[in-house]
Chains A and B, each alone.
Chain A
Amino acid sequence: MFTGSWVIDHCIGVSVLLLIFTALVYVKGEAGGGK
């Protein structure tokens, strides 16, 4: 375990996934002409 707690590890994982998702959505949105 990264922090010694599976729940805190999952918190970090979920946060990172959310940021990656947001970055992809942003890149795709801008590439599509910002619509």
Chain B
Amino acid sequence: MIYNWIILICAIMVLIYVGYLSKKHTSHLEGNSSFLVGGNKVGVFVGALSILATGYSGWGFIGSPGMAYRYGGIEVLGNLFFAPAMVLGAFLAATVLKKKNAEYASYTVPEFVAAIHPGNEAAKKSIQFIAAAVTIVLLLVYLMGQVRAVSLVASAWLKVPPLAASIILMAVLVIFTAQGGLLAVARTDMLMCVGMLLSSLVIGWIIFSDVSLKEMVANLSAQNEVLMNPPTSEPYGGGKYSVYLIFAYAFLFTTTLPYMNARFLSFEKEIKPHILAVIMAPAALILSIVPLAGLYMRMKSPSLQNSDSAMPLFLEYYVPAGIAGLINLFILFAMLSTISSVLHAIASSAAYDLRKSCGAKLTHNKLINTLAVLAAAAGGVIMTFYAPPMMLNQIAIIGTGGLISLLAGPIFVHFFLPCGVWAALLSMIAGLGSNILFTAVLKFGWVEAPIAASLAGSAVYLLAGFWESKFISAKAKTP
């Protein structure tokens, strides 16, 4: 246990030092640029690994092996779809957003969405306000789930109560996020991703030094043929190939979620998207090895009561103690890298977008940014441990899928067919509204709902854009 504390304290010192260095590298910049976009100093290597670290949360290390244990190979395939979707999404977003943002120089995703749609100034402010407000509400609830997961893992690892574990780790995140802004978040994400990649390689090495892929398939098929040759994509849908929908979901997730695509606004001006893809592709495939630990545990111990214990038990029984301690740290890193990006997205929306869209003067930025990070972290911890679960469950059902469908039309469709400000505003309302309908009323799954709602939002974007262009051109022609 003391060994775990020692490596955690060393890791915390490194993370805070990276935050301090990032602050030093951007301290000469005026205004909000350093906090919101890291002074556009995020390079291709840091950017690539940071996107992966943020996208692959603790789910990949704990939840996904548990699902693979329970449902078999379909989870390995489902998790793998994040690799091509994130690479393709990042390549496309880095190519298009780089060009667009060279023109608009936005600091945040809500501001970017408002800036790229020409039209009425009040409607632009409404877009920025709605995008920021929905980001804050939905990401705070998402943050709560992440804080709960990290507190459980850290409390078991450090032998302290969950509340104490979450306060220690959130304090570290607040320190480096508040002092170094997005550059600190991206750089610490990069370090955490290196740890996650090493863990994945160790997990793969331990599994494949014991059993080949064909032997694993044969063994699991002998247990239950459905595990490796499922007739449906359960739990991802009733059709045999419904699992392919995860590709569409992960693509939208990468290109539209503010805590993911804020990265693209922070890239250096001379970044090369194809180099980004070359770094991300093999790294994403390496991270996709992890769920195989769930299949390995199913092969070795087919009667576990709780499938979520597959990874903890794998580390306990099949990984040498010292290395298992390090992998546990890197699992915490996987969760923390996502939390730091979410914290930054919430703080940016609260400290910058809400103030700007309400016409407030943007003064005392450093103090307000720090207070916003602190408030977001405190809000996450308080909601996790003290808020009434019924109220939060209602919002959690909408989830990050609500944000995806809110922004899919104005960001993703705009890449191909740019429309005006009213189209963006109507699309946002239609996307979010249909997501609420699909999840809360029609009980769609977490993969199907945002895809269907994004399609609805995108259709409204195109229809309203067509109407807007007709209306505006007709009005313009009127003498």
A-side residues, CB < 8 A to B, are: 3-8, 10-11, 14-15, 17-19, 21-22, 25-26, 28-30, 34-35
A contacts with B: majority SS? helix
Q: Does B274 contact A (CB under 8 A)?
A: yes
Min Cβ gap B270→A in Å is 9
Min Cβ gap B421→A in Å is 31
CB of B277 within 8 A of CB of A25, answer yes
Please count the residue pairs between chain A and chain B whose beta carbons lie under 8 angstroms apart in the complex.
79
B contacts with A: majority SS? helix
Q: Which residues of B contact A11 (CB under 8 A)?
A: 73, 76-77, 80, 288
CB of B84 within 8 A of CB of A34, answer no
How many interface residues does B have (CB within 8 Å)? 31
In B223-268, the 8 Å CB interface with A consists of: 228-230
Are A7 and B230 also in contact (CB < 8 A) when A15-B285, A17-B84, A18-B83 are?
yes
Residue of A nearest to B225 (CB): A5
> Closest 4 A-B residue pairs measured CB to CB?
A29-B274, A5-B228, A7-B73, A22-B281
Cβ 8 A contact of B274, one of A3, A4, A18, A25: A25
Q: Which residues of A contact B277 (CB under 8 A)?
A: 21-22, 25-26
CB of B272 within 8 A of CB of A4, answer no
CB of A4 within 8 A of CB of B214, answer yes
Q: Which residues of A contact B230 (CB under 8 A)?
A: 7
Min Cβ gap A6→B in Å is 6
Q: Does B14 contact A (CB under 8 A)?
A: no
Q: Does B168 contact A (CB under 8 A)?
A: no
Min Cβ gap A13→B in Å is 10
- Knowing that A11-B80, A11-B288 touch, tell me 11 more A-B residue pairs with CB under 8 angstroms: A4-B228, A7-B76, A14-B80, A14-B84, A18-B285, A19-B282, A21-B84, A22-B87, A25-B91, A26-B278, A29-B273
Residue of B nearest to A30 (CB): B274
Cα distance A35–B217 in the bound complex, in angstroms:
44
Min Cβ gap B281→A in Å is 4
Q: Which residues of A contact B442 (CB under 8 A)?
A: none
Min Cβ gap B45→A in Å is 15
Residue of B nearest to A15 (CB): B285
Cα distance A11–B282 in the bound complex, in angstroms:
14
Are A3 and B214 also in contact (CB < 8 A) when A18-B281, A26-B278 are?
yes
Q: Does B202 contact A (CB under 8 A)?
A: no
